[in-house]
Each structure stands twice: as structure tokens, then as C-alpha cells.
């Protein structure tokens, strides 16, 4: 594995970085373990104060940080800068609210005496993070665990080396002690050894199903705790035509943000029959207005995909569907022959047996389905091995909540796109992963809920 910046707007490899040797990886693990022995005993107010300084730095350096990931993975600069600012909110949330969320809990035992449950750290943790949200994905793992007193070994995506390094730099600038957060440019072949190392107590991965299965297998054999946030093929269900213009606007923005490269992006648009034709017509028109551009330009809202390989994979999925009878309403092709640009795309008439029916479409490709009613919408939405998030749009809130209750997903948003909130849980079910992040739930994964019991007095 080569850690390299390959500018997706040009296809040019601009900078490469050396991977760590086994000896360097061992030293990094030892540094994280050694730091844990003192960090766990650092007063929580001091740990929170460091996180607050981290939050402040992300906001101060948001423009610089945004430019880095626009170059590395093609995110339009306005979205990239917004990501950096939102990351500041995550660190601040745990700095301000975290201490109270992990305060001792008095159990009031029925048998008399006293008992408390104390939230104690467990040790050094490995984080394996993806390229599509280079700062955000790290923050939602690192922030709660650093507050708890755990330490972090962070293996970032191979195409995001500069953003990986700058995050470690920010922690140092904020005063985090050496070894509490360690960036490691590790190759995939070394990951199993890190997980199995007795100095490492858990692993969190955000990535593909294949990677998740590999990590879970190793962690299971080693009896290590793991959290997995994997793919999504998220349904966007439309039950009526009330305020259809706003619903279509939400559908397009939900599909096209970050060039559609989000696990929680709306991907399957399931629309009741009475609304379907107008929805598809309006949706296609609005998609056609999305023309990809230079991610460093403040006017660009749709940039390149992360790599030419990502474009080629999407085009193959579209071509497979069309060859088997799907209708290509708009788009479907790569743009140019240098950068990783692709047309915004809409497919209809997709059926089982097509790759686009069952696979995650990780990019600017939407699929619209016509259904008879809410029951049919739920059945189609649930006919998928993934279960991350979903959205339901309807004027009748009772009907929307009924659908939400029946959806097999970790998250359901009503009359808005799936989003990320610092105080709300994030995670899925089925093959979309295990565990939760953000809010108080992010503090409840890699933690020892230690019972301390005092016997009744005689």
C-alpha cells in the first residue's frame, strides 16, 4: 500500500509517503499503550479542556483544512470547509457535555448497601478510517474515547495522508500528550497483528463490508471489542405529493452532497404511484443542472469522485443495469479522460438481478422505484442486506411514523435527509455494521462499565 495524494481532479500523483515498518508500528503501539497508563489517570477536566482546544483549532483552521481534503479526495471546498467546522462541534460537544455523561451512576441496590457504575477506559484502541469524510470520521471515534481516557492509534485511508498528519498535528497543538493520539501509515497486511496485540483493546472501522468482515474475524478471535460502520443503500420514501418541489430538492441534495460518496446518502428513491411520474421528471431536471467542477472553486457544488477507479466501478454498475433492462433517464458516463468526473445519473426500472438493485452505489447515481402504497414502499426498502439509515417524506406524520417503525434501519429521518448530529446516535443494523457513535452512545462502546459495590453495614 502506498500512501499518496492523487489529485482526483487531475489524476496526478502529487506526493507520496512511506509506510511504517513493523518495527515502527510496534513502537507506535507501545507509545499508545504507555501513554494510556498516565492519560487514564489525568483528571477529566483536563482531558475535556484539551478537546475544547482541539475544537477551537478546527474552526480557526477550517479554510486550510478544507483545502487539504479538496486536493486529496475532491470534496468541493465549501463542503470541505464545512466538514472541518462541524468537526469542531463534535470535539466541543464531548468537551462540554462528556464529563456529565460519564459521571458515576448510583444504582440504589435493592439488597441494601451502595453500588455505583463507573465509566472507566480500557486502553489503546485502533481506528481504521475512510477517505470520504477525512476529519469527521476520525472525530466521532477519537473525541469520546480520548475524553474517556483511552488512547488512539489511527490508520487513515491511503489517499488521505496529509489530512491524517494534520489531525495528529492539531492534537499536539492543543496540548494532547505524546502517544495519546498516534497516526500510523500502516499497510493492510499489518492490521491483524495490531488488533491481536495484547496492548490494543479494541478496534473501530468505518469502511466496506469486506473490510468490516475481515476486522471482525480477527477481533473475534482475539476477543477484542469492535465497532463497525459499513455501507448503506438508503431508501428515500415519498408517500404523497404535498410540497413536492421541496421534497425533490431534498432528494437531489441528499444524493449529490459529496458527489454521492456517503454511506448515509439517499440512494434508492421509493415513490408512491400517484407521485412517481412528476417526481422523476423534476428529479431528472434538477440532476442535469449538476455539472462537476474544480473542487477548489467556491462555486463548485459537485466535484470529482475520489478516484478514476471509483468512476469506472459506478459506470459498470450502471451499464449492467441498462444491459438487463433498466432505463437510463440521465447521465451514466464518465466525463473526460483525466480526472475522476462522472455525470449525475438517474436510473429507473431497476429489478432484482441487476447490480444496482442490491449493491451500494457510492457516487452520483440514483435509482427511482414506483410502488403502489406505503406497505409496498416498506417491503422494497427492507429488501436489502444493508440497514444504515433512511428518510420518509409525507404530510401525514402518523403515516410517516408508521413507516419509520417498520423500516429495518439504524436511523430514520422524517421530512428531512439523513444527517449527522453531535448529540444523536449514528449507526446501522444488518450488514451496515455493529455499534453506535456520537452523542452519549459514542461514550458507551469502548468503556468498562465498572461496578463498585459496598456491602450493607451491620
Please write the tens of the pLDDT for every residue from 35-66: 999 999 999 999 999 999 999 999 999 999 99
Grid cell locating 249: 430538492
Is residue 291 domain-shared with residue 317, that is, in the same domain? yes
Is residue 269 domain-shared with residue 391, that is, in the same domain? yes
Is residue 38 domain-shared with residue 178, that is, in the same domain? yes
Grid cell locating 106: 448510583
Quick: pLDDT tens for 200-229: 999 999 999 999 999 999 999 999 999 999
Residue 343: domain span: 234-421
> Domain for residue 372, yes or no?
yes
Q: Are 437 and 229 in contact (CB under 8 A)?
A: yes
Q: Is 160 a catalytic residue?
A: no
What CATH number does residue 189 fall under?
3.40.605.10
Q: Where are the beta strands (DSSP E) in 158-261?
A: 181-183, 200-206, 225-229, 234-238
Q: What is the pLDDT of residue 1?
A: 61
**Residue 426 carries which DSSP code?**
B
pLDDT band at 381 (very low <50, low <70, confident <90, very high): very high
> Domain for residue 288, yes or no?
yes
pLDDT band at 426 (very low <50, low <70, confident <90, very high): very high
Is residue 313 domain-shared with residue 212, that is, in the same domain? no
pLDDT of residue 196 exceeding 80:
yes
| Alpha-carbon gap, residue 378 to 95, rounded angstroms | 40
> Domain for residue 426, yes or no?
no
- % of the chain surpassing 70 pLDDT: 100
What angle is formed at CA 63 by the lines to CA 292 and CA 87, rounded to 5 degrees? 95
* For range 426-443, the mean pLDDT: 97
Grid cell locating 323: 444491459
> Domain for residue 377, yes or no?
yes
Q: What is the pLDDT of residue 427?
A: 97
Helices 44-60/136-148 angle, 10° precision: 160
Is residue 324 domain-shared with residue 338, that is, in the same domain? yes
Q: What is the pLDDT of residue 458?
A: 72
Q: What is the 3-state secondary structure (H, E, C) of 236-303?
A: EEECCCCCHHHHHHHHHHHHHHHHHCCCCCEEEEEEEHHHHHHHHHHHHHHHHCCCCCCCCCCCCCCC
Is residue 247 domain-shared with residue 194, that is, in the same domain? no
Is residue 198 domain-shared with residue 342, that is, in the same domain? no
> Domain for residue 188, yes or no?
yes
Q: Is 398 helix (H, G, I), strand (E, B) or coil?
A: helix
> Domain for residue 211, yes or no?
yes
Other beta carbons within 10 angstroms of residue 282's beta carbon come to 17
Grid cell locating 167: 489531525
Q: Are 363 and 310 in contact (CB under 8 A)?
A: yes
> Domain for residue 156, yes or no?
yes
Beta carbons within 8 Å of 212's beta carbon, 6+ residues apart: 205, 228, 230, 433
Q: Is 263 a catalytic residue?
A: yes
Q: Within its chain, how far is the Cα of 276 from the centroid?
A: 30
What CATH number does residue 399 fall under?
3.40.309.10
Quick: pLDDT tens for 297-311: 999 999 999 999 999
> Domain for residue 427, yes or no?
no
Residues forming beta bridges with residue 271, ordered by sequence position? 238, 370
Is residue 155 domain-shared with residue 139, that is, in the same domain? yes
Q: Are 255 and 267 in contact (CB under 8 A)?
A: yes
Q: Are 254 and 237 in contact (CB under 8 A)?
A: no
* For range 370-381, the mean pLDDT: 98
* For range 99-106, the mean pLDDT: 97
Q: Within its chain, how far is the Cα of 321 from the centroid?
A: 27
Is residue 366 domain-shared with residue 220, that is, in the same domain? no
Choice among 92, 168, 263, 437 that is catalytic: 263
Quick: pLDDT tens for 153-180: 999 999 999 999 999 999 999 999 999 9
Q: What mean pLDDT value characterizes the chain? A: 97
Is residue 83 domain-shared with residue 188, that is, in the same domain? yes
Q: Are 381 and 267 in contact (CB under 8 A)?
A: no
Q: Which residue has the cell 469486506?
A: 210
Q: CA-CA distances (angstroms) from residue 377 to 118, 270, 395, 404, 446?
A: 44, 6, 16, 11, 37
Quick: pLDDT tens for 325-355: 999 999 999 999 889 999 999 999 999 999 9
Is residue 439 domain-shared with residue 398, that is, in the same domain? no
Dihedral of CA 243/249/252/257: which sign?
A: negative
Longest dimension (CA), the chain: 83
- % of the chain surpassing 90 pLDDT: 98
Is residue 322 domain-shared with residue 446, that is, in the same domain? no
Choice among 72, 83, 92, 229 that is catalytic: 229
* For range 223-247, the mean pLDDT: 95
Provide the domain count of the chain. Answer: 2
Amino acid at each position: 500500500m502506498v500512501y499518496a495524494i492523487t489529485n482526483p481532479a487531475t489524476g496526478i500523483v502529487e506526493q507520496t509517503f512511506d509506510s511504517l515498518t513493523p518495527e515502527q508500528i510496534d513502537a507506535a503501539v507501545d507509545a499508545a499503550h504507555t501513554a494510556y497508563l498516565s492519560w487514564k489517570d489525568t483528571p477529566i477536566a483536563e482531558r475535556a479542556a484539551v478537546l475544547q482546544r482541539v475544537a477551537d483549532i478546527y474552526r480557526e483552521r477550517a479554510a486550510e483544512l478544507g483545502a487539504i481534503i479538496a486536493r486529496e479526495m475532491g470534496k468541493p471546498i465549501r463542503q470541505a470547509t464545512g466538514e472541518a467546522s462541524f468537526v469542531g462541534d463534535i470535539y466541543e460537544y464531548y468537551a462540554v457535555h462528556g464529563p456529565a455523561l460519564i459521571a458515576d451512576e448510583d444504582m440504589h441496590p435493592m439488597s441494601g448497601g451502595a453500588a455505583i457504575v463507573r465509566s472507566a477506559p480500557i486502553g489503546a484502541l485502533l481506528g481504521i478510517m475512510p477517505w470520504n469524510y477525512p476529519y469527521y470520521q476520525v472525530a466521532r471515534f477519537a473525541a469520546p474515547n480520548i475524553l474517556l481516557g483511552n488512547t488512539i492509534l489511527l490508520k487513515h485511508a491511503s489517499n488521505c495522508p496529509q489530512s491524517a498528519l494534520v489531525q495528529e498535528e492539531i492534537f499536539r497543538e492543543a496540548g494532547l500528550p505524546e502517544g495519546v493520539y498516534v497516526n500510523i501509515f500502516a499497510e493492510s497486511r499489518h492490521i491483524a497483528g495490531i488488533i491481536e496485540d495484547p496492548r490494543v483493546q479494541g478496534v473501530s472501522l468505518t469502511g466496506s463490508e469486506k473490510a468490516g468482515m475481515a476486522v471482525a474475524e480477527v477481533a473475534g478471535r482475539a476477543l477484542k471489542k469492535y465497532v463497525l460502520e459499513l455501507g448503506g443503500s438508503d431508501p428515500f420514501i415519498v408517500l404523497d405529493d404535498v410540497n413536492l418541489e421541496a421534497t425533490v430538492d431534498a432528494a437531489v441534495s441528499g444524493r449529490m452532497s459529496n458527489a454521492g460518496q456517503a454511506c448515509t446518502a439517499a440512494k434508492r428513491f421509493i415513490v408512491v404511484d400517484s407521485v412517481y411520474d412528476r417526481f422523476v421528471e423534476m428529479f431528472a431536471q434538477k440532476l442535469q443542472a449538476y455539472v462537476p467542477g474544480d473542487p477548489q472553486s467556491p462555486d463548485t457544488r459537485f466535484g470529482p469522485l475520489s478516484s478514476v477507479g471509483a468512476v469506472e466501478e459506478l459506470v459498470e454498475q450502471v451499464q449492467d443495469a441498462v444491459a438487463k433492462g433498466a432505463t437510463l433517464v440521465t447521465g451514466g458516463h464518465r466525463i473526460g479522460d483525466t480526472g475522476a468526473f462522472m455525470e449525475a445519473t438517474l436510473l429507473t426500472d431497476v429489478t432484482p438481478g441487476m447490480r444496482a438493485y442490491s449493491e451500494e452505489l457510492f457516487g452520483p447515481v440514483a435509482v427511482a422505484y414506483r410502488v403502489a402504497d406505503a406497505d409496498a414502499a416498506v417491503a422494497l426498502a427492507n429488501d436489502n442486506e444493508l440497514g444504515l439509515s433512511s428518510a420518509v417524506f409525507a404530510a401525514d406524520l402518523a403515516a410517516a411514523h408508521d413507516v419509520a417503525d417498520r423500516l429495518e434501519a439504524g436511523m430514520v429521518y422524517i421530512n428531512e435527509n439523513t444527517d449527522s448530529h453531535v448529540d444523536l446516535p449514528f449507526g446501522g443494523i444488518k450488514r451496515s455494521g455493529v455499534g453506535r457513535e456520537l452523542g452519549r452512545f459514542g461514550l458507551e462502546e469502548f468503556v468498562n462499565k465498572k461496578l463498585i459495590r459496598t456491602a450493607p453495614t451491620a
